[in-house]
Structure 1
Amino acid sequence: MKNGKLVSHVGPMGAGKTKALVLIHDQLVSEGKEVVVFKHVNDIQRGGQVDKVTARDGSTVSGVVPLSTLSEILFFNTDQFHTVLIDEIQFFDDADTIPMLNALTISGIDVHVFGLDVTSDNTTFGVMGNVLAQSDRIEKLKPKCYRCEGDARISSFVGGEKDGDVHVGDLDEYKPICRRCYFEDMKLKKAPQQQVKAADKEHTFKFNCAGFSITFSVTDSQLAAAGYTIDEVNDINTEEGMTNLLEDLGLEIFI
C-alpha cells in the first residue's frame, strides 16, 4: 500500500483557501475519486451552514461533515476514501490531530488541510507548527496586503476586543497584511503607550522629621491627581505638611 500525502494550504484571511478546497474537491470528484470534506463543528462559514463550505466567489461544497476532534474520523469507513479535505485545520488544536493526520496518510489516503498558519499577533496558530512540520507539501497562499498591495502573510485584527487566538470572524474584522505593514502598525500602536509611560515619571522623596525618616515613591500622574507639583513637594518642611501630603496621595509609607 502506498503512503498518502499530507498537503497544507495556508495563508491569511482572504487568501482563497476555501476556493482552493472547492477546486480540489471538484477536480477529484470529476475524476471519479471518493472525497470527503471535514470541518470543525464550531466553524460557521459564510451562509451559516455547518454542512457546507462556501468560497467568497460563491462556489460551494455540500455534504461537509462537522467534527469536534479528528479522532471522530475513526467512526467512518476510511477504506473507501481516496482523499480527505479538512477545512480550518487550525481549530483542531487537540492532542489527536497529528496522530490522525499521520494515520490517514499511512493508510494510503491523501490529506489536504486548509487554514491559518499564524494568528493576528503573528504567532504560530495552535497546532499549525506541527501540521506544517509533518506536511509533504505546503502551499502558501498570499492575497494582497490591504494597505500596500504587497503579498500578505498575516491577518490583522481590525475589530473591537479579541480574547485569545480563536475569534471567529471574516474580513469585516480581519484584513490581510504584509509583514512590513504589520510591524509598522505595531510601532504605531506602541508609540502612544511608550509616550505615556515616558511622561509618567516616578520620583522618590525622603523626609527627615522628628527623629525619623520617611521614603516614598510617586509618579507625575499621582502628584497631579492629588493637586501637587514636584516643587511644592520639595518645599514641604513640616510634619503637618508631610502628613497631609501622604494622606492626599493615599500612599503606603516606609519609616
Structure 2
Amino acid sequence: MEVIAHCVWLYHRFPLSFREVEELMLERGVLVSHETVRRWCVKFGQAYANGLRRRRARPGDTWHLDEVFIKINGERKYLWRAVDADGTVLDILVQSRRDKAAARRFFRTLLKKTCSVPRVIVTDKLRSYGAAHREVMPSVEHRSHKGLNNRAENGHQPTRQREHAMKGFRSVGGAQRFLSAFSGISPHFRPRRHLMTAHDYGAEMTVRFAIWDQGTGVVGLPSTP
C-alpha cells in the first residue's frame, strides 16, 4: 500500500503525468507501469481525499464561491468551487451551465457535503447566485462584489496548472473525478507558507505527512519527488 499511496501523492501533489510518476518510481527501484499508476489514482485518489476531509476542522462560517470555465473535449464547461475564509476547499462541481439551476445544484451539493450552513456567502455578481441563494439558503447573508471574491478566484491557479499539464480533460466525469480528488489532496500539502517561518513550515508539513500516512494506512516512502 505504501507504493500505491506514494504514487497517488506524487500525481495529485505535483503537475506530473502518469509516465513521469512511473519514471520517478523506477528511479527508486520500483517497477510500475503508467497504466497501473492511472488505475491506482482512479481507485484510491478519492478515498484518500475523503479521508483527509474527514480529518479537517469544521469549515469557517464565511464561504467564497466562484466559477471558471474549463475546456472538456473542446467544449466549454464550468467549474464551480467553494472555499472558506482560510482557503480550505469545501467542494467543487463541474457543470455545463452557469445559470440558476446550476447555482442551485451547487448550493445543495455544498450543504450536503459539508453538513453545515455558513453565516455569509461571498460571490461575484453573477445573477444566478442571488436567485439560487434566495431559494436554497435565504437566511444566509449574501455579499455580492467582484473585489471581495479574490480568495476563491486565486484558488483556481493550481487547477489551471494541472489542466495545462494534462492538456485538458477528456470528459465531464473524468474531470469531476480528478478535480474532486485533487481538491482534497493537493491543498493538504499547500499550507500558507508565506505566513510561516521555515521552522514552522517544516513542523506543519511533518504533521500533514503524518496525517496522510494515517489516512492511507502506510508509512510513506521518502516524501520528495
Q: So what's the TM-score if we normalise by structure 1? A: 0.20
Counting helix residues as a fraction of each chain, which structure ranks higher? 2
Q: Which has the higher contact order (CA 8 A, sep 6+)?
A: 2
Counting strand residues as a fraction of each chain, which structure ranks higher? 1
- Name the larger-Rg structure: 1
Q: So what's the TM-score if we normalise by structure 2? A: 0.22
